Amino acid sequence: MSRMPRLLMFENNPAYFLSHRLALAKSLAGLGYDVHVATLPGDAVKGIQAAGFMHHAIKFSRSGINPLSEFAALVRIARLYSRIKPDIVYQVTVKPVIYGTLAARYMRVPGVVSVISGLGFVATGSGRMISYLRSAVLLFYRFALRHSHQCIIFHNRDDQEIFIRRGIAVRVHTRVVPGSGVDTQYFTPSPEVSGVPVVLLPARMLRDKGIYEFVAAATRLRSSGVQARFLLAGSLDPDNPGAIPETQLRQWNSEANIEWLGQVIDMRSLYSNAHVVCLPSYREGIPRVLLEAAACSRPVITTDVPGCRDAVQAGETGLLVPARDVEKLVAAIKRLIDDPGLRLRMGQRGRLLSERQFSTVRVTADAVAVVQELASRMPSLL
């Protein structure tokens, strides 16, 4: 390359950019890339700017489907690309990927990296409307992901195979990078605290995170005399079709079987005070909370579904159960509550796994390599 490219990173949520993409942005800037960031407006924008990056606020609805509003959002993205004139765009989540790639093709952006961070309710939801929406999203992906110089990053191989099998992506243009990694220097092992075992589910309050199953399992365990605390930690997400109403969460909280903590900033302390971390999700890209829990030497219980099973060595660092199976979830939770020695062994092995496969340093290097490879074969930069 005769010069380093201007790179625009485009993602929905500015807070998610800070927590999941900041290390990558800093690494690319350190290599000489002129890195810009585009997200929705929000309080976390100040953090992006404080990190030294030019931020561009762009308005669109994360879940809206009104044709006129969506077309207006596409036009705004195309105008942004025209104004910034990036050499490469790095796009994360559904609308930035679909609309961003369409805009990149129209505005002749030389290179595109699209990150499929997970298929979410598109893959897990049920009902006629969700079925129509699933077909529409996959059709839009098929239409959009046709840039001549692109790489598509998946967080797990199941999602990669779906796109290849359906003809949406060509294998040679895809890579698997396990999320954004976990900071193993920040999330560190700690001994268990004494007292009643604490079982923690950290996630956004969405149905497809398996929260109803977790509540049912906790209720059953408590009614059978098991002494434990069951915590939900995570924010509301009212724009998501699978959102759990705040009234329901407050009702559970009042019934004494469940404690809903809301959004927790200091996750490291939360993990250190938990004995077991549980995520009975229906499907994920790769769940960062499981990586963080393992880095803190906590055993995990999760489901044998794409993304979740990629974060665990079954029987070694945690237990896998079928999705939506309350009975198996009850048995897994009780097993770890009753066996402190097993919790200790799984926690130690989880820490080793996080260092070996999922550290931010390693995963960021993999993502940087994708961008570098794409830049190296772009004619406009040679």
Domain with residue 291: its CATH number is 3.40.50.2000
Looking at the structure, do residues 317 and 233 belong to the same domain, yes or no? yes
Looking at the structure, do residues 169 and 276 belong to the same domain, yes or no? no
- Residue 382 has a pLDDT of 47
Q: Are 294 and 317 in contact (CB under 8 A)?
A: yes
Looking at the structure, do residues 69 and 125 belong to the same domain, yes or no? yes
Overall number of domains in the chain? 2
- Domain housing 265: 198-357
Looking at the structure, do residues 41 and 123 belong to the same domain, yes or no? yes
Q: Are 166 and 142 in contact (CB under 8 A)?
A: yes
- On whether residue 96 sits in a domain, the answer given is yes
Listed residue (357, 361, 214, 353) closest to 296, CA to CA = 353
Looking at the structure, do residues 299 and 374 belong to the same domain, yes or no? no
- On whether residue 191 sits in a domain, the answer given is no
Q: Alpha carbon of 268 to those of 43, 205, 302, 321, 350: distances in Å? A: 22, 19, 19, 25, 15
Q: b/e per residue, 147-157, with b = 16+ CB within 10 A?
A: bebbbbbbbbe
Residue with structure tokens 């390599």?
369
Give CA–CA dist 170/168, Å, rounded: 7
| Strand residue runs (E) in 93-146 | 111-116
- Residue 255 has a pLDDT of 84
Q: Alpha carbon of 200 to those of 220, 234, 236, 272, 288: distances in Å? A: 16, 11, 17, 11, 14
Listed residue (337, 302, 332) closest to 320, CA to CA = 302
Q: At what angle do helices 94-106 and 67-84 cross, to 10 degrees?
A: 60
CA–CA–CA angle 73, 78, 84 (5° rounding): 125
Successive 10-residue mean pLDDT values, the chain, 382 residues: 81 93 96 96 96 94 78 94 96 92 93 87 60 77 87 94 92 94 96 96 96 97 95 91 92 90 95 98 94 98 96 96 98 98 98 96 96 84 53
Looking at the structure, do residues 295 and 366 belong to the same domain, yes or no? no
Looking at the structure, do residues 175 and 289 belong to the same domain, yes or no? no
Looking at the structure, do residues 221 and 328 belong to the same domain, yes or no? yes
Q: Who contacts 60 (Cβ-Cβ below 8 Å, separation ≥6)?
A: 40, 69, 70, 73, 76, 77, 95, 99
Q: How many residues does the chain have?
A: 382
Q: Are 101 and 10 in contact (CB under 8 A)?
A: no
Looking at the structure, do residues 219 and 342 belong to the same domain, yes or no? yes
- Residue 104 has a pLDDT of 94
Give CA–CA dist 134/159, Å, rounded: 14
- On whether residue 188 sits in a domain, the answer given is no
Give CA–CA dist 244/206, Å, rounded: 5
Give CA–CA dist 300/52, Å, rounded: 36
Give CA–CA dist 12/377, Å, rounded: 28
- On whether residue 186 sits in a domain, the answer given is no
Give CA–CA dist 293/189, Å, rounded: 9
Q: Are 135 and 97 in contact (CB under 8 A)?
A: no
Beta strands 318-321; 174-176: pairing state: unpaired
- On whether residue 173 sits in a domain, the answer given is yes
Looking at the structure, do residues 285 and 314 belong to the same domain, yes or no? yes
Looking at the structure, do residues 377 and 344 belong to the same domain, yes or no? no
**Residue 7: strand pairing partners:** 35, 88
Give CA–CA dist 193/340, Å, rounded: 12
- On whether residue 140 sits in a domain, the answer given is yes
**Residue 179: strand pairing partners:** none
Other residues' Cβ atoms within 10 Å of the Cβ of residue 215: 22
Listed residue (22, 18, 28) closest to 365, CA to CA = 28
- On whether residue 193 sits in a domain, the answer given is no
Looking at the structure, do residues 367 and 341 belong to the same domain, yes or no? no
**Residue 202: strand pairing partners:** 233
Burial-class residue 278 by CB neighbours within 10 Å (0-12, 13-18, 19+).
Answer: buried
- On whether residue 111 sits in a domain, the answer given is yes
